[in-house]
Amino acid sequence: MSDNGHQQNEHENVPSRQRRRFEGISSRTYEHPADRSALVALRKLSGFDTVFKALSGLLPERSLRLLFLSDSVRVSDAQFAHLNTTLRDACHILDLEKVPPMYVAQDPQPNAMCIGLDEPIIVVTTGLVELLDEEEMRAVVGHEVGHALSGHAVYRTILLFLTNLALRVAWIPLGNIAIMAIVTALREWFRKSELSADRAGLLVGQDLKASMRGLMKLAGGNHLHEMNVDAFLEQAEEYEAGGDLRDSVLKILNTLPRTHPFTTVRAAELKKWAESRDYQRIMDGHYPRRTEDKETSVSDSFRQSAASYATDVKNSKDPLMKLVSDIAGGAGDLGGRVRRGFGGFAGGTPKDQTAPKDQTTPEDRTSPKDQPPRDSTPEDDD
């Protein structure tokens, strides 16, 4: 009897179709570089989680738990059994030891979230459940499990707390400006954490087409027969490259207040990652383990983050980003000339710009002995 029970429990945690399982996987595997650097730094702060969790009384976490327990449907073998199976599958694939509670909340707006400080809980709305098919939902549940594995719930709550604080001190000019600067930076991290979770969803579903379909439905509703993935991705490319500097500024202004990247952008970013060598290495079983997390270097993570942003700017087709890249390239060339002792400027004018001899002025024909002596050479000016 016990052997049969053991086999049944094992079977409950096995995905409905064969998928690769990532045993002991570290969340660093799928985290966007900007997200990873922030998380590595926060994790290195000894006692940070403990202190912040001690302040959780200031936050409505317990209230939210009671609210979902009393006014939503808790997913289990008896309720929304297919979602319960999907949740266990996702936790099995990402090797999350404890399966977080999951609730379905009545809300026509498609949405999902992972909240909570001590123990994360996952909430999906009825609008989302009714919108997505099984494989699309698997990617979404994997997305939320990725948030749980990364510990995003703890750090995202900081953003919620500071946003509320900013509203309370709005009457203090300097205080509000300072807090809003922090909130703006946290929102940028928040958006990158969504890209990380999208990658986790792909690792769970292991079906890029399903992930793309889910994002399209979030943008255009349940009219999949009227939509096309390639055309949807073309929108992302047009958004990235289209317009002029005015449009670039408007993109920034539209993005700043958002906690999530735009849907077409998410789709394009996920497709790019799925086609990368990094993703293929993960699928081949080569990825960081959680046992190595303590050895992670904060400085290395920040360098990777900076390199990622630099690459994004360099490869961006956005008019403003291209201008920034061009200016940076020009400044780099100027700096190189300066380091070479002004060699780029002192080496003479180009041949096709040499002034004819008959156009020289009397001052140009002044004898060297009539000119004041030079105190230094260009090399001395360094």
Q: Is the distance from CB of 199 to CB of 273 less than 8 angstroms?
A: yes
Pick from 56, 50, 26: which is nearest to 146 by CA? 26
Instruction: Report the distance separating Cα 92 and Cα 16, nearest Å.
Output: 11
Strand pairing category for 112-115 and 102-105: unpaired
Question: At 171, which amino acid appears?
Answer: W
Which pLDDT score, from 0 to 100, does residue 164 have?
A: 63
Instruction: Report the distance separating Cα 42 and Cα 45, nearest Å.
Output: 5
Q: Each residue's pLDDT tens digit in the chain (382 positions)?
A: 434 443 444 434 444 568 999 999 999 999 888 776 666 555 555 555 565 555 555 555 677 788 899 999 999 999 999 999 999 999 999 999 899 999 999 999 999 999 876 688 999 999 999 999 999 999 999 999 999 998 877 666 666 666 666 666 555 565 556 666 666 666 777 788 899 999 999 999 999 999 999 999 999 999 999 999 999 999 998 888 777 778 778 877 887 777 788 999 999 999 999 999 999 999 999 999 999 877 765 566 556 555 655 566 566 666 656 655 556 555 445 455 444 444 444 444 444 444 444 544 444 444 444 454 444 444 444 5
DSSP, collapsed to helix, strand or coil, labels residue 237 as helix
The residues with which 113 forms a beta bridge, in sequence order, are 123
Instruction: Report the distance separating Cα 25 and Cα 93, nearest Å.
Output: 9
- What tokens were used for 105? 């909340």
350: which DSSP letter?
-
Show the beta-strand stretches assigned E in the chain: 73-74, 102-105, 112-115, 121-125
Written as one string, the DSSP assignment of 284-347 is: TT---BGGGGGG--HHHHHHHHHHHHHHHHHH---HHHHHHHHHHHHHHHHHHHHHTTSHHHHT
- What residue has token string 């993570």? 301
The number of CA neighbours under 13 Å toward the Cβ of 212 is 18
pTM as predicted? 0.69
- What tokens were used for 82? 């297919």
Reduced 3-state DSSP string for 1-38: CHHHHHHHHHHHCCCCCCCCCCCCECHHHCCCHHHHHH
Question: At 300, which amino acid appears?
Answer: D
Pick from 129, 84, 116, 82: which is nearest to 102 by CA? 84
Phi, psi of 103 (to 5 degrees): -125, 150
Which pLDDT score, from 0 to 100, does residue 249 have?
A: 80
Q: Is the distance from CB of 264 to CB of 239 less than 8 angstroms?
A: yes
- What residue has token string 């993005």? 255
Pick from 335, 336, 346: which is nearest to 379 by CA? 346
- Dihedral sign computed on CA atoms, order 52, 57, 61, 62: positive
Point out the residues that are catalytic.
144
